[in-house]
Amino acid sequence: MVTIKSDKEIQLMREAGLVLAKVHSELEQYVKPGISTYELDAICEKLIRSHGCLPSFKGYEGFPASACVSVNEEVVHGIPSHDRVLKEGDIVSVDTGVIWKGWQSDAARTHKVGKVSGEVSDLVDRTRESFFVGIKAAVAGNHVNDIGRAIEDFIIPYGYGIVEALVGHGIGQEMHEDPEVPNFTCARRGMKLRSNMTIAVEPMINMGTWDVAETDNGWTFVTTDGLPSAHYENTILIREGEPEVLSLLPEEKKFYGVL
């Protein structure tokens, strides 16, 4: 179901988004060689609760942690583990969400661990950039497919693969609401975007093939060619003009030139 939020509900989603932005920002300092993905998740949960929010991922369809922590060839839904220890040159995506007074926010960042090779570093940067390109099309009156087309037009010239098995989504009191928001062009133009819809736009971009496989743990997706994958996500508010990004800090919005 697609939900159109009231101004009061949007204010609560703004507050949830600000907490999530702070959590991601505070977590970044811990991303270093030697830390395990288990430790990162534990810190993430502590940060979320320290802001008076609940970790929305914990227990979601049985997910065991507060953050999905996915390293290198892991695309999304990495399960935090004591055994997965970050090393110099890795990339790690942290996807997490919060609930504030019943309202959700969802965002992901991919971090570089120490010094990362040039081409992997480019993948991370271009994945993030594709989000900002995509949301330029996320305005009331456009259709959902306009977002995916913008991301695809930006990404494909680099020779990367866009993940098709997983997509962005509406968000509100539920973490996953309609509509689905693909990061690629579809045959159908999709639903018309309306003011006060809130959606999570989350390009998942692979260095090589678009193809991914689910692993034996029943959660984690990996690239089938073993090449790295990056992920970047924010919760946004659809408006008549450019959208408002709800899960960035004010200084980040200024840096990226978004509302």
Structure tokens at 179: 């509509």
Is residue 175 left, alpha or beta, with left meaning phi > 0 and alpha meaning psi from -120 to 50? alpha
Stretch that binds Mg ion, among 29-37, 69-77, 198-206, 250-258 (CB under 5 A): 198-206
- Which of helix, strand or coil describes residue 70? strand
Q: Looking at residues 104 to 123 of the shown chain, list those that interact with Mg ion (rule: CB under 5 A).
A: 106
Name the DSSP class of 85: B
Minimum Å gap between C-beta 178 and Mg ion is 14
Minimum Å gap between C-beta 131 and Mg ion is 12
Minimum Å gap between C-beta 168 and Mg ion is 6
Instruction: Report the residue number, 90 or 106, with the smaller CB distance to Mg ion.
Output: 106
| 1 contacts: CB under 8 Å, gap ≥ 6 | 177, 178
Three-class DSSP labels, 132-173: HHHHCCCCECEEHHHHHHHHHHHHHHHCCEECCCCCEEECCC
User: Does 207 sit near Mg ion (CB under 5 A)?
Assistant: no
> What CA–CA distance (Å, rounded) separates 62 from 79?
12
Instruction: Report the residue number, 10 or 167, with the smaller CB distance to Mg ion.
Output: 167
Minimum Å gap between C-beta 201 and Mg ion is 9
Contact assessment for residue 148 and residue 183, using Cβ atoms and an 8 Å cutoff: yes
Q: What number of CA atoms fall less than 13 Å from residue 133's CA on the CB side?
A: 17
Stretch that binds Mg ion, among 44-52, 64-72, 194-202, 246-254 (CB under 5 A): 194-202
The closest of 203, 243, 217 to 75, measured between CA atoms, is: 203
Minimum Å gap between C-beta 89 and Mg ion is 27
Q: Looking at residues 77 to 106 of the shown chain, list those that interact with Mg ion (rule: CB under 5 A).
A: 106
User: Does 200 sit near Mg ion (CB under 5 A)?
Assistant: yes
Q: Looking at residues 213 to 242 of the shown chain, list those that interact with Mg ion (rule: CB under 5 A).
A: none
User: Does 177 sit near Mg ion (CB under 5 A)?
Assistant: no
Backbone phi, psi, residue 54, to 5°: -105, 145
Stretch that binds Mg ion, among 43-51, 119-127, 138-146, 196-204 (CB under 5 A): 196-204
* Number of residues counted as binding Mg ion (CB under 5 A): 3
Minimum Å gap between C-beta 77 and Mg ion is 11
Q: Which residues bind Mg ion (CB under 5 A)?
A: 106, 200, 202
